[in-house]
Chain A
Amino acid sequence: MHRRTTALTVLAIATATAVTGCSSSKKASPSSPAPGGGSSSSSSAAGVSGTINVFAASSLKEAFGTIAKQFEAAHPGSTIKINLDASSALATQIGQGGPADVFASASTKNMDLVVKAGGASAPTNFAKNVMEIAVPPSNPAKIARVADLAKGGVKVALCQLQVPCGATAAKVFANAKLTVKPVSREPDVKSTLAKVELDEVDAGVVYVTDVRAAGTKVEGIQIPAATNASTEYPIAALTKAPNSAGAKAFVAYVLSPAGASVLTADGFGKP
């Protein structure tokens, strides 16, 4: 008899663990005040404290990590929490009431969806990105140009079409008049890159900034400007931001020369 209960318990545990696979970002607690922010508080830092939840496109992982550290140093008492995901997924999360203060998208399309739903107004483009082919360092399929991706037997990972990196890669193939049938449509650009890093695919089409961030783990093959496509990155403080002052300050920092220099250093183009 108690066997059955054991099986039930095990089932319950397994289901619980399965559910925890889904990410949940914690709600901001803007209660903690800035401890003695006297000397360092410049005019822009006034009133900026607590947690600022930034929903950012996966490709901004490294750049926004750096910017967040700089921002926190400039605004003692503030904490930046970055929720990285595909821009399309983030737009959905914001639409469902995700506790976001700032949205930084990898395409105007996903930002426009949020704006149209009343979630944000007046977004500003702050960066631009172009695509590059990433291959494992050994380059098993000897990829040299975009046309090689359309060859039979070449395993290519691409982003989902609704994700900016997938949409922009599709433009590249359209420019090159190629039909590329991928083995997988990955949920965001970093998982596309991961499949290349693990040497499970022969190539992936990602942003130039991702190839740069991956260092020696992948090799980049540049796409000629004539066939390459780009995507614009808009940013906005959200209408329902729990930490409105913090949101505005962070957006201003990203748009400032200091933010721009981080983005440029990581390989992003100017908008």
Chain B
Amino acid sequence: MIATPALIGFAFLFVPLLGMLARAPWRGLSRLLSESEVLTALRLSIECATAATAASLLLGVPLAWALARIHIPGIGLVRALVTLPLVLPPVVGGIALLLALGRNGVLGRYLDRWFGVTLPFTTPGVIVAETFVAMPFLVVTVEGALRTADRDLEEAAVTLGASRLTVFARITLPAIGPSLLAGSILCWARALGEFGATITFAGNFPGTTQTMPLAIYNAFEQDPQAALALSLVLLLVAMIVLAALRDRWLRGTTAA
């Protein structure tokens, strides 16, 4: 009784990928992937996703710490707002970013007026869009780890005279290391796949803002074979990500 829907469920998730592999242009693959536009998009994607992950670590880890350790009224609301981009359609996020940080946006107009900086249609704009969408993945993962982490060691260090920063760097961070890594990988993967917020906020131009998902979307209308080849690259990346996370997820709840 349960086996049938379970099997259908598995097939539903797996068959589309199989379909892609079956129709893949294996023979022309090396030619399709060696075209300069593909390599440009791939490099841009990896660079932007990595920069977005770095930005997420820089801002997201302190945020996760604050959410886990600071107990003030209203922190629950802050947590809800932080996770909002997880459930928000990315294109809505892109419009929100445009209206906040665009040339005419609430904050963006001052960036333009005071510093001459405009984010839309630039590579930093791609990083901003990706960080907006991906950072909550890191925050949620790290916050969970911080909540369940043993605090006795931290308190012991404090009584021995360690400063707050030393405790954070020497005790807390190592304790949540695995979660930090898993959160970063998730964040990076999400940033790499970002489409909606990027095309809305950062536009679409080869070499500047056209990341892999945008290139795939474009290619699908002119050269479906090329789109398929590009998709295979992202599928490979996704499988590598899954392999990196296997200890955490694939073995279910028994993993440490």
Structural contact, B89 and A18, CB atoms closer than 8 A = yes
Structural contact, B90 and A18, CB atoms closer than 8 A = yes
Which A residues lie within 8 Å of B98 (CB)?
198, 200
Q: Which of B121, B140, B221 contacts A92 (CB 8 A)?
A: B221
- Answer whether residue B144 sits at the interface, using C-beta atoms and an 8 A cutoff: yes
Which B residues lie within 8 Å of A195 (CB)?
203
- Answer whether residue A116 sits at the interface, using C-beta atoms and an 8 A cutoff: no
Assuming the contacts A18-B90, A183-B203, A200-B104, asked whether A6 and B221 have C-beta atoms less than 8 A apart, the reply is no
Q: Which of A8, A11, A157, A199 contacts B103 (CB 8 A)?
A: A199
Structural contact, A187 and B204, CB atoms closer than 8 A = yes
Q: Which of A8, A21, A201 contacts B91 (CB 8 A)?
A: A21
Nearest-CB residue, chain B, relative to A8: B249
Nearest-CB residue, chain B, relative to A4: B253
- Answer whether residue B83 sits at the interface, using C-beta atoms and an 8 A cutoff: yes
A78-101 CB contact bits vs B (8 Å, 1 = yes)?
000000001011011000000000
- Answer whether residue B88 sits at the interface, using C-beta atoms and an 8 A cutoff: yes
Which A residues lie within 8 Å of B102 (CB)?
198-200
CB proximity of B151 to chain A, nearest CB, Å:
16
Which A residues lie within 8 Å of B211 (CB)?
none
Structural contact, A4 and B205, CB atoms closer than 8 A = no
Q: For this complex, into which size category does the number of interface residues on chain B fall?
A: 35 or more
Which A residues lie within 8 Å of B141 (CB)?
7
Structural contact, B120 and A200, CB atoms closer than 8 A = yes
CB proximity of B118 to chain A, nearest CB, Å:
8
Structural contact, A14 and B87, CB atoms closer than 8 A = yes
Which A residues lie within 8 Å of B103 (CB)?
199-200
Nearest-CB residue, chain B, relative to A92: B221
CB proximity of B144 to chain A, nearest CB, Å:
4
Q: For this complex, into which size category does the number of interface residues on chain A fall?
A: 35 or more
Which A residues lie within 8 Å of B204 (CB)?
160, 184-187
Assuming the contacts A3-B144, A8-B249, A18-B196, asked whether A162 and B89 have C-beta atoms less than 8 A apart, the reply is no
Which B residues lie within 8 Å of A4 (CB)?
144, 248-249, 253
CB proximity of A20 to chain B, nearest CB, Å:
7
Which A residues lie within 8 Å of B91 (CB)?
21
Which B residues lie within 8 Å of A198 (CB)?
98-99, 102, 104
Structural contact, A155 and B121, CB atoms closer than 8 A = yes
How many A-B pairs with Cβ below 8 Å? 95
CB within 8 Å of B: which of A1-56? Answer: 1, 3-8, 10-11, 13-14, 17-18, 20-21
Assuming the contacts A3-B148, A183-B203, asked whether A201 and B221 have C-beta atoms less than 8 A apart, the reply is no
Which A residues lie within 8 Å of B148 (CB)?
3
Structural contact, A86 and B221, CB atoms closer than 8 A = yes
CB proximity of B81 to chain A, nearest CB, Å:
14
CB proximity of B90 to chain A, nearest CB, Å:
6
CB proximity of B102 to chain A, nearest CB, Å:
5
Nearest-CB residue, chain A, relative to B102: A200
Structural contact, B121 and A201, CB atoms closer than 8 A = yes
Which B residues lie within 8 Å of A5 (CB)?
253
Structural contact, B104 and A199, CB atoms closer than 8 A = yes
Structural contact, A10 and B86, CB atoms closer than 8 A = yes
A6 to B179, CA, bound (A): 14
CB within 8 Å of A: which of B47-73? Answer: none
Which A residues lie within 8 Å of B99 (CB)?
198
Nearest-CB residue, chain B, relative to A156: B121
Structural contact, B88 and A17, CB atoms closer than 8 A = yes
Nearest-CB residue, chain B, relative to A2: B253
Q: Which of A13, A183, A185, A200 contacts B87 (CB 8 A)?
A: A13
What 10 new A-B contacts, CB under 8 Å, besides A8-B249, A200-B120, A200-B121?
Answer: A3-B144, A3-B148, A4-B253, A10-B86, A11-B86, A21-B91, A183-B208, A185-B203, A187-B204, A200-B104
